[in-house]
Amino acid sequence: MKLNLKIWRQSGPNDKGYFDMHSVEANEHMSFLEMLDVLNEQLISEKKDPIAFAHDCREGICGTCNLVIDGRPHGPQKGTTTCQLHMRQYKDDDTIVIEPFRATAFPIIKDLVVDRSSLDGVIQAGGYISVNTGQAVDANAIPVEQEVAADAFDSATCIGCGACIAACPNGSAMLFTSAKVSHLGKLPQGKVEHKKRVQNMVAQMDKEGFGLCSNVGACEAECPKEISLDNIAFMNRAFIGSVLTTED
């Protein structure tokens, strides 16, 4: 099939960007990134600058393939990352608009590549357990209710791609941050630092320049791992509780 691609080009963070039109031949079995690879081979053969785009695992688990496709982070298919999107979603002579994630906290590096290190800053502020637990113990030594473990695991499936931020009209990182707060705060090992963690991560989230949450819900709708808005409610309760109480 022949596809018309309207792709964002930008030489650097301080340069003015623009949309550039390209045509490419693809087949329905290609992934979206493989289609971009074909385009880049074509551009290189024409001695033109290839499209810069980020990718790594191509298995939907690393969160690197952050593209906005026809106005939707990761494209039209629900619960799917860009690298898992296949060209069978399109038909001959379709025009596809491809942009980088748009958010104040995600400055553009080049073309479709953005700097998502602001998410690393949030993680470094508290998205870990630093309590000395000693040597590894038997898995059953610390009892965890099945429902609690399932909730924590669902939150932990967040891959930190930033789609929730790109989808949010305010550029909020509440879904991402709350997923990290929730999956640690719901387990016994993470409860020791729970209050400190939620305060530090929320403070760093604001420092990184993310916007405020207004409960639009676009974050949940566009999340490739379908992280629930319930995490935001959990984090809000935890944050308020940590501010109003002083006891450990």
| Sequential DSSP letters for 18-84 | EEEEEEEE--TTSBHHHHHHHHHHHHHHTT-PPPP---S-SSSSS----EEETTEET-SSTT--GGG
Q: Which residues contact 233 (CB under 8 A, 6 or more apart)?
A: none
Q: Give the per-residue pLDDT at 143.
A: 85
Q: Give the per-residue pLDDT at 74.
A: 97
Q: Which domains does the chain have, with CATH numbers?
A: 2-110 (3.10.20.30), 117-244 (1.10.1060.10)
Place of tokens 């109480």: 245
**pLDDT 10s digits, 155-211:** 999 999 999 999 999 999 999 999 999 999 999 888 889 999 999 999 999 999 999
CB-based contact 234:201 (threshold 8 Å) = no
CA-based angle 200:158:55, to the nearest 5? 110
Identity of the residue numbered 14: N
pLDDT (tens digit, 0 to 9) for every residue of the chain, 248 residues total? 999 999 999 999 999 999 999 999 999 999 999 999 999 999 999 999 999 999 999 999 999 999 999 999 999 999 999 999 999 999 999 999 999 999 999 999 999 999 999 999 999 999 988 877 677 777 677 888 999 999 999 999 999 999 999 999 999 999 999 999 999 999 988 888 999 999 999 999 999 999 999 999 999 999 999 999 999 999 999 999 998 875 54
How are beta strands 2-9 and 95-100 bridged, if at all? parallel
CB-based contact 156:149 (threshold 8 Å) = no
The pTM assigned to this predicted structure is 0.92
The secondary structure element, H or E, covering residue 47 is none
Distance CA 189, CA 183 (A): 11
Q: Give the per-residue pLDDT at 16.
A: 95
Helix (H/G/I), strand (E/B), else coil: 97? strand
Helix (H/G/I), strand (E/B), else coil: 79? coil
Distance CA 14, CA 205 (A): 24
CB-based contact 5:22 (threshold 8 Å) = yes
How are beta strands 18-25 and 113-114 bridged, if at all? unpaired
Taking residue 65's Cβ as centre, other Cβ atoms within 10 Å add up to: 26
